[in-house]
Structure formats: structure tokens, C-alpha cells
Amino acid sequence: MAAISALTEELESVTNELHAVDIQIQELLEKQQELIQKKNILTNQIKQHFEDSDAGESSEWDSSPATWKKEDFPWSGKVKEVLQNVFKLQRFRLLQLETINVTMSGKDVFLVMPTGGGKSLCYQLPALCSDDYKALGILKRQFPNTALMGLTATATSHVLKDAQKILCVEKCFTFTASFNRPNLYYEIRQKPSNTEDFIEDIVKLINGRYKGQSGIIYCFSQKDSEQVTVSLQKLGIQAGAYHANMEPEDKTKVHRRWSANEIQVVVATVAFGMGIDKPDVRFVIHHSMSKSIENYYQESGRAGRDDMRADCILYYGFGDIFRISSMVVMENVGQQKLYEMVSYCQNISKCRRVLIAQHFDEVWNSEACNRMCDNCCKDISCERKNVTAYCRDLIKILKQAEDLNEKLTPLKLIDSWMGKGAAKLRVAGVAPPKLPREDLEKIIAHFLLQQYLKEDYSFTAYATISYLKIGPKANLLNNEAHVITMQVVKPTQSCFKIESSETCHSEGADKRREEKNSGNFQKSANTLQRSKNTGTKKRKIDDAGDESL
């Protein structure tokens, strides 16, 4: 017996060591993917520089910003005069002078600059100096000698090339500023399922951290914006609704009162966008997530245009995935963009700035975040957990529903998984997981992003309904060695403990309350570990990406 005990102990030691090696391999693979991505981006940038160089050999086609950051052009005196006397400014911001000089020289230019970076001045000022520039709205083919300027905050390199082709300005200068807004703090919060709790959470923020300060709350729909406005007003918040269905004079009134600080908060849909340039917006709260990272970047970027600290808080809720998905299903890449947004929200470890920069093909170092996002502020450690058993159970539930010719909405799928709802939708042998519903929602969202599940839609005269079905990668589970992992907070720590932005950057302010999101993976992790076949060396396939509980 002693010999068997010794062998068992040694087997357990070897098994644990193998598990540790698996984790190290996965970490190296992740690092490899990051480096490959950076390499591709840098290679494309170098290639672009060579293409720009080949496009014109003379010095007049030098596309480096430094060449155009001069004040000795024939029009420089007039430009400075208009800047100071008309716009009442003493100096230009990053890349403004370069862009204006290129335009004044009669050449085409694309400027990629963050929301709030100062794009408006780049076309307004030349319009006051050059008669030809006033015709910028005319197509390039009709007025080939008129300089054209394209300005955007959210163009990837692919979109930029498409725009150049469409506008017939493929031989043009391109200036790109960093997408980073160092004064903005990015934070994701779990959306409370109870409406009253949700409003109470927002009111506490407005009356506490943002007392007397100006802000915007973005909502998914016109109905949401009106309901949230009424709820805030009942609790003493000076708020006004703004959406596309309002009369023009009502929208103008809300905008003017907000600009004059007569109301503190505008509760708006995405209709509240272009031309909104209030510099002292201290917070932008998303009542629901945006339909894409581009949209979120634009909307959150309306905060802190005075370069002072401002907060961008997004409330992420499982149900919003399917509300938005039903809306964008007919768009060409609508679902893909939405899932990128969901992945951003589910991430608990990577710097928010790195995630945004990667989306826009920018190489960015998380160390420069300066703890200005929730993930960089968290005093927690993360690890990967085996969630394969959960996926197998969900596939069993969906397979049985398919055999019964039943369609399962996300709500019905969770109910069945938890042993609730219609008895016929439950599967014998599928034990309800001992996790909070909030964690189960994150697990399902993870499987959806990884394509083990997929959405299907039913179209009626009144609505588009989203259902969940077995996804294209589910067949990988036919291989018993296939393992799905998901990043979670280490169970030895206070689960989901998140420091607030004021805790990270209090600057003398009182420390605000710490928040805890429910969820503990420890029990389920132990169950999964016991279910592993220790006698078989399994091939570990990491489908986790960086999404996590």
C-alpha cells in the first residue's frame, strides 16, 4: 500500500507540473500572437512610408508632418491672423498647423485625430483664408484642382484606403494622431438587473463624484432616454432628454440649457453627436454599450475636451448584446463589430487603451496608461479556468431543444441551464451550475464570441428576435481532448474587487466605495478538476482570447 501511495503522490505531482507547463505554453502563445500583430502593423507602416515616398519624388510630396509644421509659407501670416482674431486662440494643437498648411498649398490630406482633438478648426480656418476651399463639398472629379480634406476620429488603415479610393484622392497626405486620450479614465461596470438599483447607482455617481459637474448619459433607444430622464428628474437631477424624434426647437433648447449649465445631464441617443463641443464634460456614462468600438470611442470622446480629467463609464449587461444584435443584424459587419465591443467589455485584464489602440491598428504600451483605466487599477490576479464542461452541457440543452423543434432565447437557455423554466427544455444529467446568474451570462457570452454558440434570428412584422443555437466550433468538442479555457479572477483573492477611478487617481478626493461583483469560480473549478482524466495527457487548446468573468 505504501508503494501505491507513493506512486499516486508522484502521479499527482507530475500532473500538476504538466498543468503548469500547459499554462506557460499558453502564455507564450499569447505573447507570440501579440508580437505577430505588432510586427504586421509595423511592417504595414513601413510599407506605407515606402509607398508614400514612391508616390512623388520631389520635396513637395514629403509627407512627414515636420515638413509642414512651419510658419514661413506665403499664407502663414493670414493663417495666424485668423487663428488669433477670429477663433481667439494663441496656438495650434497637435497636427492642426500641418494639416492647414497642406490644404492651403492646394494638396489633399486625410487627418485621423481623436474626438475632441481639434478637427473642426482644420477645415474652418482654411475656409476663411482660401476662396477655393469653400468648394470642398464638391466631388473631386468635378473640381480636380480644389484641395480636399477628410477628417475622422475612427478610421482604421483599411477604411482609410477605401475612403481614398472612393473620393479619388489616393495620392494624398495622411496624418494620424494617436488615438490615446490620456485625460480620459475608462471603466466597465456590471449593469444591475434591477432598474431601480441601476438608476440609484447612476444617481449616486452624479450626486457624489460628479456633484455640480456636466455630463452625458448615452442610451440605446429613444424610449430609454426618456425613461431615464424622468427617473433622474424625480430624484432631483437636472436632466434633459435628447433624441432624433424630438422637435428641432426642443433639441436646441436642451442643448443650449446644457451648454449654459442650466441642466447638468443630457440623456441622449447617438443623435447627440456632431457639433457637441462642450469642453468641461466631466463624465460620459453609457446606459447600454455601443454597437461598435468606433461608436464607443466617438461617444466617450465627448468627455474632457478641455484636457482635464474626465470619466467614461460603460454599464455592460448580457441582455444588451441581443437587443443591439437584433438591430444591427442587417448591417454588413454589424454583428462582427458588436462582438468586438462585447469582447472589450468582458475583458478583465488588458489595459483598455491597448484594446482600443489594437482595434485602430496602433501599437501602444500599457505602461503609458498611468492607471487611467479600470483594468490597470485592479489589485487582483487572473488565471485561466477550464470551462469545457459548461459548454458541453449547453450544447446538450440546445441539441434537445432542436430535436423538439424549440427555439431558445438567451433567457430560456439560462433558465434551462439553471433548472428553471419549462420542464421539457431541461436535460437529464445536466446539473445546474453553482454560480451566480451574472457569471453564467458571462460564460455564455464567452462561448458566443468563441463560436461554440451562435445567434439565429426570427423576423416578425413587429420585431427581430434573437435565439441561440449550436455554433460552428461545437463539433470540436467531439474530441475528448479539446479544452476551452476562460480567464477569471483567482479564487484566493476577493472576487471581482475593483478599485474605482477616484481610488486610482484621487488627486486629494475622498476614497470612494469599493465595489464587488458577485461570482466565485472555486467550487466549479474543483468539480472540473476532479472530472479530469489524470491518466491521459490532454492537448490544451486555448480559445479564451482575453474575455473573462
Closest CA to 444 of 418, 480, 477: 418
DSSP, collapsed to helix, strand or coil, labels residue 215 as strand
User: Active-site residues: which are they?
Assistant: 119
For residues 396 and 244, what is the distance between their CA atoms, to the nearest angstrom? Answer: 44
Edge-first strand listing for the sheet containing 109-112: 149-152, 109-112, 173-176
> Residue 401: its pLDDT value, please?
95
Instruction: Specify burial of residue 120 (Cβ count, 10 A radius: 0-12, 13-18, 19+).
Output: middle
Question: What's the count of helices (H) and strands (E) in the chain, helices before strands?
Answer: 19, 15
> Residue 110: its pLDDT value, please?
86
Digit-coded pLDDT (tens) for 69-103 = 888 888 888 888 888 877 778 888 888 998 888 88
For residues 203 and 231, what is the distance between their CA atoms, to the nearest angstrom? Answer: 10
For residues 163 and 359, what is the distance between their CA atoms, to the nearest angstrom? Answer: 18
Looking at residue 191, the DSSP 8-state letter turns out to be P
Contact 334, 328 (CB under 8 A): yes
109: part of which helix (H) or strand (E)? strand 109-112
What is the identity of the amino acid at 322? F
Name 262's Cβ contacts closer than 8 Å, sequence gap at least 6. 238
- Give the start-end residues of each E strand in 248-403: 265-268, 281-286, 310-316, 382-386
CATH class as words, domain 184-377: alpha beta
Phi, psi angle pair for 373, to nearest 5°: -150, 160
The DSSP-derived string for 453-487 is EEEEEEE-SS-EEEEEEE-TTGGGGGSTT---EEE
Phi, psi angle pair for 516, to nearest 5°: -125, 125
DSSP, collapsed to helix, strand or coil, labels residue 243 as coil
Q: Give the global pTM.
A: 0.69
Q: For the chain, list residues with pLDDT below 50.
A: 55-59, 131-137, 493-503, 505-549
- Give whole-number Cα distances, 189 to 146, 185, 259, 463, 487, in Å: 48, 13, 28, 29, 17
Looking at residue 111, the DSSP 8-state letter turns out to be E
Digit-coded pLDDT (tens) for 442-492 = 999 999 999 999 999 998 888 899 999 999 999 999 999 999 999 998 876
Domain 383-531, second-level architecture: Orthogonal Bundle (1.10)
> Residue 156: its pLDDT value, please?
66
* Grid cell at residue 185: 479614465
Domain 60-176, second-level architecture: 3-Layer(aba) Sandwich (3.40)
Closest CA to 176 of 366, 307, 363: 363
**Could you count the other beta carbons within 10 Å of the beta carbon of residue 194?**
9
- Give the start-end residues of each E strand in 382-526: 382-386, 453-459, 464-470, 485-489, 497-498, 515-516
Contact 334, 533 (CB under 8 A): no
Edge-first strand listing for the sheet containing 265-268: 184-190, 310-316, 281-286, 214-218, 265-268, 239-242
